[in-house]
Amino acid sequence: MTFVQTLLKHTASYESPTSFWKWSAYACIAAVLRDNVWLEDGDSKLYPNVYIIFLAASAQRKGRPVTLAEHLIYLVDNVKVISGRSSIQAILQEIGHTETDEKGKIKPSGSAIFLAPELAAGIVSDDQSIQILTDIYDYKSVGHTTNLIGRGKFKVDKLIFSMFGASNEELLKSIYTTKAIYGGLLGRTFLIKPDEFRKSNAFPEGNEVGFRELVNGLKEISELLGKATFTWEAREFYRVWYTEFREEAKKKDDRAGIFGRFHTNVKKLSTILAANELKLEIEKRHVEEAIEEGLKLIKNYNSFILSSGKSTIAEAGGTVLEILAASNGHLVDRRSIIRDHWMNFDPDTLDKVIVAFETAGLIQIQVSGTMVYYKLSEKGEETIGKKGAGA
């Protein structure tokens, strides 16, 4: 079994949802790959470091996957593990320090993962945190220099930084503010929500043998070294997908940069999925899985952005009427509305709008198999026409 499969099996009896365990496995792999594995990215390198945040209400079992990941990464002992409450400036200074192990061997500096079961309690929020976290996500061949009053000037020659934490919606807003959303930090973050509610287990049992298998599996991954490459088939698949995706993305309101960063996140996750199989060669199926995993998260970004005050049901209703009016009487399928306007409203908001409009007799709904279509009714067309004439 792969490391991810082993971790999912090991944690099957716990109450935390599968999505949290799977992404905790991805965080572990990203951390131990540190700067040992990379993709060629023009004149630079793309490392598989990641920002992963679990977003769930209190008591939804989001802390245990983070603490398990911290324990596993710590035992592999090839990357700096930072936790506890700290400012991002202090974290950077800590990353730049070299350390020695028990045998006196110097541990390389520059690669680190910061972990926080509650992100708002881990990161000291200030005006610079968002900008710094956004900046250090991307590798810089000249290193990262910080000059702070009281701390002096220090430089990290090769900074490969991952962040893994959890929070609830209200607390996360203290870190992922409007500046973080529209300044690029959210687009650099994998935002994970629960995908299930597991049955209760009042007395979960440990499994030392299974835990040791996890440590050994992660150590094997940590020994990978070199440039990751795409097979010819994977390159062609990615190229075609990316070209089409980019053309579609430019039509969307993407102020948060979710679509703009999506292709980079796909490359990083593809590398992690290949490493999970102890491979440096990325195959087509890795790319396909990475795309699928990423697309599942679109609704998470959407709901978080909306909860930060971007849209209302009234605004969504106006948009839906505009869409249907522009169709000139043709049917418009629900999926296309969600796909093309995910930045304006989420599926739940759309459903509320549709129920209100159908009750008012403004629209008609048609169902064909699994597809749902909408169109303006005669009353709806008259209403839109009167509004247009009044304007």
Distances (CA, A) of 191 to 7, 108, 164: 20, 30, 10
Grouping H, G, I as helix, E, B as strand and the rest as coil, residue 104 is coil
What number of other Cβ atoms are within 10 A of residue 359's Cβ?
A: 9
**Looking at residues 253-266, what average pLDDT do you find?**
90
What number of other Cβ atoms are within 10 A of residue 129's Cβ?
A: 20
> DSSP character for 283?
P
Structure confidence at residue 19 (pLDDT): 96
Among candidate residues 78, 72, 81, 65, the one with its CA nearest the CA of residue 115? 81
Give CA–CA dist 391/380, Å, rounded. 17
Structure confidence at residue 351 (pLDDT): 86
Helices (runs of H) and strands (runs of E) counted in the chain: 17, 16
Judged by average pLDDT, the poorest of 28-37, 53-62, 251-260, 299-308 is 299-308
**Alpha carbons within 13 A on the beta-carbon side of 180:** 22
Structure confidence at residue 318 (pLDDT): 87
Query: For the chain, what are the domain ranges?
Result: 3-305, 313-390
Give CA–CA dist 66/25, Å, rounded. 10
Structure confidence at residue 391 (pLDDT): 40
Q: What is the pTM of this model?
A: 0.78
- Tell me the CATH number for domain 3-305: 3.40.50.300
Mean pLDDT (the chain) is 87
Q: Report residue 336's pLDDT band, with 50, 70 and 90 as the boundaries.
A: confident
**Looking at residues 187-201, what average pLDDT do you find?**
94
Distances (CA, A) of 177 to 123, 136, 180, 270, 389: 13, 18, 5, 29, 41
The pLDDT of residue 150 is above 70: no
Q: Report residue 127's pLDDT band, with 50, 70 and 90 as the boundaries.
A: low
Does residue 150 or residue 70 have the better pLDDT? 70
Grouping H, G, I as helix, E, B as strand and the rest as coil, residue 136 is helix
Does residue 85 or residue 218 have the better pLDDT? 218
What number of other Cβ atoms are within 10 A of residue 66's Cβ?
A: 26
CB contact at 8 A, 95 and 54? no
Q: Which residue is listed with tokens 């398990």?
A: 68
The pLDDT of residue 236 is above 50: yes
Among candidate residues 69, 169, 174, 153, the one with its CA nearest the CA of residue 115? 69
CA torsion through residues 382, 384, 389, 390, sign: positive
CB contact at 8 A, 98 and 12? no
Q: Report residue 99's pLDDT band, with 50, 70 and 90 as the boundaries.
A: low
In this predicted model, what pLDDT tens digit does every residue of 39-74 receive, in sequence order? 999 989 999 999 999 999 878 899 999 999 999 999
Among candidate residues 117, 123, 137, the one with its CA nearest the CA of residue 174? 123
The pLDDT of residue 214 is above 50: yes
Give CA–CA dist 276/29, Å, rounded. 7
Structure confidence at residue 104 (pLDDT): 56
Burial class (CB in 10 A: 0-12, 13-18, 19+), 323: middle
From 2.60.120.200, 2.30.30.180, 1.10.10.10, 1.20.1600.10, which CATH number describes the 313-390 domain? 1.10.10.10
CB contact at 8 A, 6 and 217? yes
The values of phi and psi at residue 117, to 5°, are -60, -25
The values of phi and psi at residue 99, to 5°, are -135, 165
> DSSP character for 310?
I
Q: Which residue is listed with tokens 């993407």?
A: 254
CB contact at 8 A, 223 and 336? no
Structure confidence at residue 1 (pLDDT): 93
> How long, in residues, is the chain?
391
**Looking at residues 77-105, what average pLDDT do you find?**
77
Structure confidence at residue 386 (pLDDT): 54
> DSSP character for 187?
G
Among candidate residues 364, 361, 360, the one with its CA nearest the CA of residue 374? 364
Does residue 232 or residue 304 have the better pLDDT? 232
Among candidate residues 2, 48, 1, 55, the one with its CA nearest the CA of residue 276? 2
- Which tokens sit at 135? 């900046």
Structure confidence at residue 149 (pLDDT): 46
φ/ψ region of 85 (left if φ > 0, alpha if ψ in -120 to 50, else beta) reads beta
Give CA–CA dist 109/18, Å, rounded. 33
The pLDDT of residue 332 is above 60: yes
In this predicted model, what pLDDT tens digit does every residue of 20-36 receive, in sequence order? 999 999 999 999 999 99
User: Can you name the residues that pair with 172 across neighbouring β-strands?
Assistant: none
DSSP for 36-49, written as a single string: TEEEEETTEEE---
Judged by average pLDDT, the poorest of 163-167, 182-186, 245-249 is 245-249
